[in-house]
């Protein structure tokens, strides 16, 4: 289950970490069109989230520390909540209102798989 959860988080991590940085570097006009004046804040949010998720892939695969495993659950739940709140037209933590889309829903579903795998791992550690 740990491997499934870690594998599920690879695509969201790449989407949050690699995509915004490459877009900002290679096509900054696109980033400004998508995020407007909040482009830098949005990129910063996504990079922090991507690094967080990268760290938690390793923790889920290797750690037996309940505290570390437990910290991965709320962080990824917050990512899911922020996305759905931003769908309502609210800018939250640098994430401007989102339009939704199938890819974004797949990303959130994969984050949910990670959360469930983390909860399962917590149950097995205790």
Reported as a single tens digit per residue, the pLDDT across 25-47 is 899 898 888 777 778 888 888 89
Domain span at 85: 2-125
Q: Do 34 and 19 form a contact (C-beta atoms < 8 A)?
A: no
Give dist(CA 54, CA 45) in Å, integer: 14
Report the number of distinct structural domains present in the chain. 1
Q: pTM for the complete prediction?
A: 0.80
pLDDT of residue 98 exceeding 80, the answer is: no
User: What band does 94 get if pLDDT is binned at 50, 70 and 90?
Assistant: low
């Amino acid at each position: 289950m740990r491997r499934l959860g870690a594998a599920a988080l690879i695509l969201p991590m790449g989407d949050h970490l690699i995509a915004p940085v490459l877009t900002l570097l290679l096509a900054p006009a696109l980033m400004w069109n998508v995020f407007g004046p909040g482009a830098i804040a949005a990129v910063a949010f996504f990079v922090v989230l991507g690094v967080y998720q990268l760290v938690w892939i390793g923790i889920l695969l290797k750690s037996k520390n309940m505290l570390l495993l437990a910290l991965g659950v709320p962080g990824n739940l917050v990512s899911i909540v922020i996305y759905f709140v931003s769908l309502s037209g609210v800018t939250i933590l640098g994430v401007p209102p989102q339009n939704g889309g199938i890819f974004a829903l797949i990303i959130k579903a994969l984050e949910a798989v990670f959360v469930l795998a983390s909860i399962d791992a917590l149950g097995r550690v205790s």
